[in-house]
Amino acid sequence: MKDNLSKRDLYPRVADFYNGKSVFITGAAGFVGMIILEILLRTCPGIKSIYILIREKKGVKPEQRKEQLFQKVIFDRLKAEQPDALDKVRLVSGDVSEPDLGLIEEDTDRIIQDVSIVFHCAADLSFVKSVKNLMGANTMGTYYVVELCKKLKQLEALVYTSTICSNTNRYEMVQEVVYRLPFPSERFFQEFREGTEESMDDLSNQCYPRWPNGYTFNKCLAENILLENAAEVPSAIIRPALVAPIWKAPHPGFCERNSTLILLSEGVGKGFIKVLFVDPDNYIDFVPVDVVANSHIVAAWKVATQRCQVPFVVNCSTYGTLSDTWVHFKNVLIKILSEFSVIPNSFRTGPDCFFTPNPLLYKIVCVYEHYVPAYVIDLLLKFSGKKLRIFFSPITYVIDLLLKFSGKKLRLVRLYDLFDKAMKTATFFTIKRSKYDTTNFRTMEDDLDEADKEIFYTDCTEVPIEKLALSIPTGNDMFDWKSDKRTKESRLKKATQLRRLTQFLKYSFLVIMFTMVYYVTSTVYQLVA
């Protein structure tokens, strides 16, 4: 009787599908990967084991990174309700950018024999690296995962985390399909192995319309790899929009510090970011990370138990359902930040930010708000021969904290240069108004029963930006004073001093500029007269 039942009949509930099975996750230490891991452990108690691939990073061993992962607040609920659940997690050391994922033979054999479902979430998210520099983790890594999946004895589903930006170079509505590149993936592999950064850029530039940066191109190439090399693999591609903090569970408001929304919130809140090249009336396309994770989990169940086009592509976007704009987000953010006299590690007080889609106006305001104070402060640093003294003492500490972007000790001007470089690559998304078909995303819950719709929710049409923004202070350690070596009173005093200093520098700059203009125009007038 059981043999006559379809897989859909065998596994009417999502958790039933995962019972007794093992899962393999790459990028489990990343934002989306860790949320998938937590949800699987908490909502699928019958799961057999979860293998997580973690590499050594900045001298921190995989074992240490695993311990750091489970110390995060999002695992507190799991540890309280199911204290033995973490025993199901199996660490395997490796690196997606290496052949065979850098796995030792013993771990490879265990995965081949045991794993049924694979979530490939690992990626280098840099918007400023070249196409070739990103290919190891983002493209070759996908190829190596596909090759491993072909060896699995009982593979049922492969789910790949792409991005809504993978085809944002197109000006028509982006459909839930893989858009073919003009060259096969092997052509890019060969260039990666034998070519230079310049030759790889030349090859990618032959693909039209052109992509705004190496990251988005690599994501499109990775999707092509799945299309070309995984025809026999039941697979899904999830394309998340801007990943926002957790909406419902397990910890509302939680978000990784390298998330775009958190970086912007932190930069504005600390008084570092004062201007953004953004169309304030443009739609802000965000999706809560728990919705993104649930989309992965449901997609695996769907492609394994139902007839689906392979790969099954999901544009995980709120396009057409929510209408929040960038200026709306800014106003909500400023309202929240204004309730705090100062936040930990603030650069200067007075959270505010100017949005403009005009490139000339953006550059002018950048000079006034960012570079004039930065150049003067850097000159003071240079002539003092020390990092900072007395009045300027908060700056170095705050800058060092903000320098997680680069991992280097940079001066303030170079930090703003780095910010502008990142802003330049992001303007394609903050200015351009993209359109997405979201049929697969909007209908993901259709096959779920009512109980599963509450557990593995993917419908986020009722989550305005206010709800997510209001949860940021309680869900993120950027508001935790334990991260600041100074007391709140001391930080407020220093940040206020620095705000007054930068205001003085900006006003002085305006006086000097107006004086120069007056002098030049007066001289010209006298010569003409």
pLDDT for 277-290, tens place per residue? Answer: 999 999 888 899 99
pLDDT at 437 over 80: yes
The beta-strand segments (E) located in 180-277 are 235-240, 242-244, 275-277
Q: Is the pLDDT of residue 404 over 50?
A: no
Q: How confident is the model at residue 434 (pLDDT cuts 50, 70, 90)?
A: confident
Q: Averaged over 316-341, what is the pLDDT?
A: 86
- The 10s digit of each residue's pLDDT in 299-327 is 999 999 988 888 999 999 998 887 788 99
pLDDT at 261 over 70: yes
389 has pLDDT over 50: no
Q: Which two tokens stand for residue 202?
A: 């030349």
Which residue is associated with the tokens 């530039």?
205
CA distances from 490 to 272, 387, 393, 454, 486 (A): 18, 19, 11, 46, 6
What's this model's pTM, rounded to 2 decimal places? Answer: 0.88
- pLDDT bracket for residue 341 (50, 70, 90): confident
Give residue 70's pLDDT.
95
185-194 vs 214-229: helix crossing angle, rounded to 10: 130
Instruction: Report which of residues 52 and 306 the model is more confident about.
Output: 52
Q: Which range (346-360, 367-381, 384-398, 485-499) has the least confidence?
A: 384-398
**Mean local confidence (pLDDT), 270-275:** 90
What mean pLDDT do residues 218-242 have? Answer: 95
Mean pLDDT of 488-516: 89
Region of poorest pLDDT, from 24-33, 112-121, 486-495: 486-495
- Beta strand spans in 272-424 (E): 275-277, 286-288, 312-316, 354-356
Q: Which of 60-64, 220-224, 255-259 has the lowest mean pLDDT?
A: 255-259
Contact assessment for residue 444 and residue 296, using Cβ atoms and an 8 Å cutoff = no
pLDDT of residue 392: 37
What's the pLDDT at 406? Answer: 37
Residue 394 has pLDDT above 70, yes or no: no
What local confidence, expressed as pLDDT, does residue 219 receive? Answer: 97
Give the per-residue pLDDT at 6: 63
**pLDDT at position 105 over 50:** yes
User: Greater confidence, 127 or 191?
Assistant: 191
Nearest to 168 by CA among 262, 240, 229: 240
- Over 70: is that where the pLDDT of 101 sits? yes
For residue 345, pLDDT beyond 80: yes
Average pLDDT, the chain: 87
- At residue 401, the pLDDT reads 40
Bridge partner residues of 244 (DSSP): 288
Radius of gyration (C-alpha) of the chain in whole angstroms: 25
Q: What is the pLDDT of residues 347-377, one digit of tens each?
A: 888 888 999 999 999 999 999 999 888 888 7
Count CA atoms within 13 Å of residue 260 on its CB side: 19
CB-based contacts of 31, cutoff 8 Å, min separation 6 = 243, 255, 256, 258, 259, 289
How large is the average pLDDT for residues 157-163?
A: 97
Higher pLDDT, 91 or 420: 91
What local confidence, expressed as pLDDT, does residue 309 receive?
83
* pLDDT score at 18: 96
pLDDT for residue 386 is more than 70: no
Lowest-confidence pick of 50-54, 173-177, 208-212, 473-477: 473-477
Residue 96 and residue 103: Cα distance in Å, rounded? 9
The number of C-alpha atoms within 13 Å of 292 and in the hemisphere containing its C-beta is 30
pLDDT at residue 53, rounded to an integer: 97
Average pLDDT over every residue of 169-187: 93
Average pLDDT over residues 194-210: 92
